Structure 1
Amino acid sequence: MIGTGRLVLRAPVDADRDAIAAINADPAVGAWLGGARSRAESDHFVDRVQAHFAEHGFGFYVVERRDDRRVIGLTGIWHVPEENPLLAGQVEIGWRFAPDAWGQGYATEAARAALDYGFDLSIDEIIAFTARTNLASQAVMRRLGMAYDPARDFEHPGVAEGDPLKPHVVFVGRPRAYP
């Protein structure tokens, strides 16, 4: 478990599946992830996150607000899955939050805690990537002090040709290289 002033980050448990499914099913969230996810797809994601925790001791954390214990999102670090062979095996930080939690600094607060934790594990580089058009996530990456690395930009293999989400940008974080 990782704590911040307003948030608790913890490994997901089966009781979180409904809240995670609601976030994953939201069309606004799905707009940056290739579409909203069905309950089965969301449960598969949770299964993968739980397996990653079991194997590596870290992964994508459920983000709860301290004041009401509501699950408002997920953030964390994990090894990029093999479905993305261009980056597979690298450690990625990512996040997704319920839209009513957007614009309140939760993503930056939670991601900063997860990034710090990753560097405490002696991970020497953590990347973040998103669609070139996802300026909100890129703003979080910049607030975390991550550096844009245009040499690593790529066309996402899981996104169809011609889809505006196919071109991706890559940001890099290194220990103590961020505020």
Structure 2
Amino acid sequence: MIIFKTKRLILKTWKEQDLDSMSAINQDPLVCEFLPKIGNRAATKTLIRRFMNHYKKYGFTAYAVELKSNGEFIGFVGLLVTSFEAHFTPAVEIAWRLDSKCLGKGYATEAAKAIIAFSFTTLKLEEVVSFTVENNIRSRRVMEKIGMHHNPHDDFDHPKLPKNSPLCRHVLYRLSRRE
């Protein structure tokens, strides 16, 4: 089912056919450079099931994304209730993961802007957050392009990662409905 359309993208609910494409994306070292581990097909199936259950529970999720021009699956973008405790939780986060061949084309920004509008106008959220590893410049750029703000005092060690992991330290970006 189509949830959103943007100029170049379709954001939709997940279908079984998305598994192989998402699994390939989750095994791409460039895409997963700032993730704790590269996901195999079974892990991807679990992730998609989590997204589907999240949709049933909350009415929003990380949506499958296709190119409008040819229907090609390119990844996900959407909203998730943060699944751990931190100084900023409970919170709703915006997250994305797109095929490496889509990097630098503005797709993440385009989809994220639609999700942000939905979060404030339809869901009436007060705030949306996003976070990533400190040196994930690509994701940080998207966060800034969609209007999010970074305060270094909000940075945190991700509680689901070992303290000695180079991926442990995260930057937090925020955007409130008032902005």
- TM-score, normalised with respect to structure 1: 0.93
1:156-175 to 2 correspondences below 5 Å: 156-175=158-177
Once the two structures are TM-superposed, the CA of residue 15 in structure 1 deviates from its matched residue by 2.1
Which of 116, 134, 137 is the equivalent residue of 1:135?
Answer: 137
**Greater Cα offset, 68-77 or 22-31:** 22-31
Q: Structure 1 residue 151: deviation in Å?
A: 2.2
Q: C-alpha separation between the residues in 1 aligned to 2:57 and 2:82? A: 14
Q: Distance in 2 between matches of 1:33 and 1:119?
A: 28
Any idea what the Cα deviations from partners look like across 1:22-67, whole Å, max 9, x if unmatched? Answer: 1111111111111210111111110100000011111001110000
Give the equivalent residue in structure 1 for 2:103: 102
Q: What amino acid sits opposite 1:60 in the alignment?
A: A
2:10 to 2, 8, 11: 8
Name the SS for the 1:113 alignment partner.
helix
Residue identity matched to 1:7 = L
Counterpart Cα distance in 2 of 1:3 and 1:176: 25
Between the aligned partners of 1:71 and 1:131, the Cα distance in structure 2 is 26
RMSD: 1.2
- Structure 1 CA distance, aligned partners of 2:13 and 2:120? 18
Identical counterparts, % of pairs: 34
- Alpha-carbon shift at residue 123 of structure 1 (Å): 0.5
Q: Residue 93 of structure 1 aligns to which amino acid in structure 2?
A: I
Deviation at 1:160, TM superposition (A): 2.2
User: Structure 1: which 5+ runs fail to align?
Assistant: none
Alignment of 1:114-133 (within 5 A): 114-120=115-121, 121-133=123-135
- Distance in 2 separating the partners of 1:176 and 1:45: 32
Residues 79 and 88 in structure 1, CA contact (< 8 A), matched pair in contact too: no
> Does the residue aligned with 2:147 lie in a helix, a strand or coil?
coil
Q: Is the 8 A contact 1:23 1:29 kept in 2?
A: yes
Residue of structure 2 equivalent to 1:43: 45
**Residue in 1 that maps onto 2:34:** 32
Instruction: Report the Cα distance in structure 1 between the residues aligned to 2:76 and 2:116, rounded to whole angstroms.
Output: 13
1:72 alignment partner, SS class: strand
Secondary structure class of the residue paired with 1:29:
coil
**Structure 1 residue 88 displacement after superposition:** 4.9
- CA drift of 1:176 comes to 5.5
Moved over 4 A (4+): none
Question: 1:85 corresponds to which residue?
Answer: 85
Give ranges in structure 2 of 5+ residues lacking alignment: none
* SS of structure 1 residue aligned to 2:31: helix
CA distance, structure 2, for counterparts of residue 129 and residue 42 of structure 1: 21
